[in-house]
Homo-oligomer: A and B are copies of this chain.
Amino acid sequence: MLVDHVIAPDAEALEAFLRRHLRSDALVQVAAECEVLYHGRAASTADAGDYLLIVKRDGSLQLHGDTGIKPVNWQPQVDDVHLELDDGRLALTAQRFTPPEWVRVTFLAVGFAQAVELTETSGFVLMGTEAEMQRALALEPERIEAGLEVLELELPTPVGGIDLYARDVEGRLVVVELKRGRANQEAVHQLQRYVAAVRDQLDDADVRGILAAPEITGPALERLQGIGLEYRQVTALPTMDDARDEQPSLF
């Protein structure tokens, strides 16, 4: 799994190491005190300190500090990585063209560099996405309301796709917006947009809007009801409360 490593290499040794491994299938790491320059979407940033640089097989690059999930600097993919040895210091530049941006890391003092191979990668299982929720509720619309008949999934409108488009027991059209987690004001506005689009299109003011989610924030509920839309608590899938009850030790 650990393919190769060097401890406290000088600039030449680090350059040799990186040239050997960067374009291989290995994940390359460098722990070093370094300067980092970024220019692109964020205009520009400059950093200096001890960081852990990770360059993955797909060319993505991230530079981690000692706290936080997010890297201090990163580049999702790169079109070009190149090394330059200048003035006794090695610099790695990762550049991409769309959007145009680049990150340059200049190594000042290197702790170690290593190449790691992560070969075995199985598939994964994910349950509880909004898409699954949509399918589940399309099959059992009575979970939202008795007598509800689903007409369309992801019905396109000029302002986006309506999650569930349905007709209620009294024949009124119903726009349903689903949220997997706690619905907030943003979700209310999304629903409002869709309802307005349908009313506009059909020239029919009698269109209902339902926000279906396991939870909703206070301000969101207030606003929702203030504009004549409805909230339905839907617990078709495991919610956060389930996690509170279950203990890891059960596994």
Which A positions have Cβ atoms within 8 angstroms of B?
A: 1-2, 7, 25, 27, 31-33, 37, 39-52, 54, 56-58, 60, 62, 64-69, 71-72, 74, 76, 93, 95, 99-102, 104, 111-112, 116-122, 124-129, 158-160, 181, 185, 189, 193, 223, 237-238, 240, 243-244, 246, 248, 251
| Cβ contacts A to B, 20 pairs, < 8 Å | A1-B112, A2-B111, A31-B116, A39-B246, A40-B240, A41-B243, A43-B128, A45-B125, A47-B124, A50-B119, A54-B64, A56-B64, A56-B67, A57-B66, A65-B121, A72-B124, A93-B248, A101-B240, A102-B243, A111-B116
On chain B, the residues within 8 Å of A118 by CB distance are 31, 49-52, 65-66
Instruction: Assess whether B66 is in contact with A56, with CB atoms less than 8 Å apart.
Output: yes
* B-chain residues with CB within 8 Å of residue A95 when the two chains form the complex: 248
Decide if B54 touches A240 in the complex (CB within 8 Å): no
CB distance from A94 to the nearest CB of B (A): 9
Q: Which residues of B are found within 8 Å of A72, using beta-carbon distances?
A: 124
Let me know if A69 and B76 touch, CB within 8 A.
yes
| Closest CB pairs A-B (n = 8) | A43-B128, A1-B111, A50-B118, A49-B121, A58-B67, A66-B118, A100-B244, A47-B124
